[in-house]
């Protein structure tokens, strides 16, 4: 369990992290979202004992990250932002080094390394010097060192940043496989990743917690939640007809698409019926669950679309 109480970090007058409190339980995959400079990495550095808080406290499985730093760090795997490592070492030497530093018994060190080499598809580069690897491979080495001791808590700062779509998919699969019995905290700017991976989302901005919800709960805050969007040649004429329906609160035309917003239940059926009755040539008709990017902007900028 992670327990964070009134955690703050100041740099001079800047409150990079400002009075954050939250707890995370096993089985939770927490997505940490926020604009650039929101304080995500700073929070993660404090949780992992790399940076001392200015005020407040954090405990990992009951161990205070400052007073009991070593015990707290034993329970943790950490992928720092940008996945720094020892560039002059080969992949295997680096992983062996980390495994030993993590206190894995000598007879298990090789097995532990081979296991993560396998999981992160690093077999082809195990003897290559890290500095000569591509960005995506360096990220995978960073993930390998983070999980080598099978920690109960994983803190991953932008784990899929810079990966190609295949690798993003692989890393998300890996995180999902590990999720059931661990606590995983990931920061990301990729909103689909949050929907695909996380069962909880925290949005922070200027060091403060602005939202703490499930992905579905956040999406439901979108003004597009339960709206219907359609594409056709003559969306303006269609808009004026649909606006008369009792199920439609409002119609909006944007970039050649018409979105109608619900006045109550049954909007999609009512719109589909109208399309069929009028014989409109509609090229696309879709139900809107909501748009996470819009909710993110609304929460972090007080903007509504
Ligand atoms: N060592 C430092 N000295 C001074 N200011 C710092 C230091 N480290 C971070 N900051 C500032 O603290 C704020 C929070 O930075 P942080 O790296 O935590 O943001 P972030 O949410 O991780 O952003 P990003 O999405 O860009 O990674 C920023 O304004 C940053 O410039
Ligand atoms: Mg960051």
Can you say how many angstroms the Cα of residue 241 is from the centroid of all Cα atoms in its chain?
Answer: 41
Residue 72: C-alpha distances to residues 8, 67, 154, 230 (Å): 19, 9, 12, 52
Q: What's the pLDDT at 163?
A: 87
Place of tokens 């810079």: 162
What residue ranges of the chain are covered by domains with CATH 3.30.70.100? 228-288
Which ligand lies nearest the alpha carbon of 10?
1
d(CA 60, CA 76): 8
Is beta strand 14-24 parallel, antiparallel or unpaired with respect to 2-11? antiparallel
How do the residues of the chain divide into helix, strand and coil, expressed in percent and rounded to 5?
A: 40, 30, 35
Q: What is the pLDDT of residues 119-164, one digit of tens each?
A: 999 999 999 999 999 888 999 999 999 999 999 999 999 999 888 8
Q: Which atom of ligand 1 is nearest to the CA of 35?
A: 25
Can you say how many angstroms the Cα of residue 18 is from the centroid of all Cα atoms in its chain?
Answer: 21
Q: What's the pLDDT at 85?
A: 84
d(CA 88, CA 86): 6
Which ligand lies nearest the alpha carbon of 50?
1
State yes or no: pLDDT of 304 exceeds 60.
Answer: no
* Least confident stretch, 34-38, 174-178, 236-240, 275-279: 174-178
- According to DSSP, residue 188 is labeled -
State yes or no: pLDDT of 303 exceeds 80.
Answer: no
Residue to mutate, 7, 9, 39, ligand 1, most ligand atoms under 8 Å from C-beta: 39
Q: What is the pLDDT of residues 59-106, one digit of tens each?
A: 999 999 999 999 999 999 999 998 888 889 999 999 999 999 999 999
Within 8 A by CB and 6+ apart from 254, the residues are none
Q: Which two tokens stand for residue 79?
A: 């992928």
**0.95 cut: is pTM over it?**
no
State mean pLDDT over 15-21. Answer: 97
Nearest CA to 77 out of 154, 159, 175, 185 is that of 154
Question: Where does 2-219 sit in CATH, by number?
Answer: 3.40.50.300
Look at ligand 1, atom 24, and give the residue with the nearest C-alpha. 36
Residues 61/152, Cβ–Cβ less than 8 Å: yes
Nearest CA to 175 out of 203, 200, 154 is that of 154
Please state which CATH class domain 228-288 belongs to.
alpha beta
State yes or no: pLDDT of 305 exceeds 60.
Answer: no
How much distance in Å is there from the Cα of 75 to the middle of ligand 2? 22
Q: What is the pLDDT of residues 187-202, one digit of tens each?
A: 999 998 999 899 999 9
State mean pLDDT over 179-188. Answer: 93
Q: Which two tokens stand for residue 55?
A: 């005020």
| 80 Cβ closer than 6 Å to some ligand 1 atom | no
Q: What is the percent of the chain with per-residue pLDDT over 70, rounded to a whole number? A: 99
Residues 162/139, Cβ–Cβ less than 8 Å: yes
What residue ranges of the chain are covered by domains with CATH 3.40.50.300? 2-219
Look at ligand 1, atom 7, and give the residue with the nearest C-alpha. 11
């Amino acid at each position: 369990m992670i327990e964070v109480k009134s955690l703050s970090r100041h740099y001079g007058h800047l409150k990079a992290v400002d009075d954050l409190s939250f707890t995370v339980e096993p089985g939770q995959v927490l997505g940490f979202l926020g604009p650039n400079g929101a304080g995500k990495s700073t929070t993660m550095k404090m949780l992992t004992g790399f940076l001392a808080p200015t005020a407040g406290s954090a405990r990992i499985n009951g161990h205070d990250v400052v007073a009991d730093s070593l015990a707290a760090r034993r329970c943790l795997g950490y992928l720092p932002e940008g996945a720094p490592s020892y560039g002059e070492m080969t992949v295997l030497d680096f992983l062996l080094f980390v495994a030993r530093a993590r206190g894995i018994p000598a007879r298990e060190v090789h097995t532990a390394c081979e296991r993560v080499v396998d999981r992160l598809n690093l077999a082809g580069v195990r003897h290559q010097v890290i500095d000569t690897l591509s960005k995506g491979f360096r990220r995978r080495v960073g993930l390998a060192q983070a999980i080598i001791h099978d920690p109960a808590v994983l803190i991953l700062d932008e784990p899929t940043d810079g990966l190609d779509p295949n690798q993003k998919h692989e890393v998300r699969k890996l995180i999902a496989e590990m999720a059931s019995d661990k606590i995983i905290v990931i920061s990301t700017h990729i909103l689909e990743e949050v929907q695909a991976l996380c069962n909880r989302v925290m949005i922070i901005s200027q060091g403060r917690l602005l939202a703490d919800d499930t992905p579905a709960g956040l999406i439901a805050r979108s003004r597009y939640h339960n709206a219907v969007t359609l594409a056709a040649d003559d969306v303006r004429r269609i808009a004026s007809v649909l606006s008369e329906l009792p199920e439609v609160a409002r119609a909006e035309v944007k970039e050649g698409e018409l979105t109608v917003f619900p006045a109550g239940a049954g909007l999609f059926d009512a719109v589909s019926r109208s399309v069929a009755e009028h014989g409109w040539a509609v090229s696309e008709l879709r139900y809107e669950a909501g748009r996470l990017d819009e909710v993110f902007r609304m929460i972090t900028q007080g903007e509504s679309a």
